[in-house]
Amino acid sequence: MPIGKHGIKSKSVFLWLTGLSGIVKSTLAHAVEENLHRVGVTSYVVDGNNARHGLCSDLGFCDPDRVENIRRVGEIAKLNIEAGIITLTVFISPFKSDRDDARKQMPHGDFLEIYCQCPIEACEQCAM
């Protein structure tokens, strides 16, 4: 179990933030990451921006490509857990089966799905 600079023990886990577009999932994930780094805990955020510009740059937005995108992100998270890194992923991930497949790759209890909910009106305002 990794120990941060303040003596805080941390268990590497996979935090999957999901929900509609425009509800500041990435902002939330990066704030959590910043606070973890502040206390010396290693973490990393994988979101649509960094995944789609590199690892998944060959994929589009049709259903099969979305499935493959999420599969690859799950593989990255699995490697990070093995390395002792807390991984926060931020994806709309509309298919429950994809999230379930990612969950199955992780040791029991290492996958935490966080559904970020916000009124649709607020999401529409953020998207403007």
Domain boundaries, the chain: 14-127
**pLDDT tens sequence across 24-80:** 888 899 999 999 999 889 999 998 888 989 899 999 989 999 899 999 999 999 999
Q: In the prediction, which pLDDT does 56 show?
A: 94
- The owner of tokens 């807390």 is 86
State how far the Cα of 56 lies from the Cα of 64, in Å rounded to an integer.
13
- Residue 93 appears among annotated catalytic residues: yes
- The owner of tokens 């010396």 is 40
CATH number assigned to the domain with residue range 14-127, chosen from the 4 options 3.40.50.300, 3.40.50.720, 3.40.50.2300, 3.50.50.60: 3.40.50.300
Type of residue numbered 68: E
Q: How many CB atoms lie within 10 A of CB 102?
A: 23
In this structure, the strands spanning 14-18 and 86-90 are parallel
46 φ/ψ angles, rounded to the nearest 5 degrees? -115, 120
> pTM of this prediction?
0.79
- The pLDDT-based confidence of 11 (bands split at 50, 70, 90) is confident
72 φ/ψ angles, rounded to the nearest 5 degrees? -65, -40
State how far the Cα of 71 lies from the Cα of 53, in Å rounded to an integer.
16
Name the active-site residue from 10, 12, 43, 93. 93
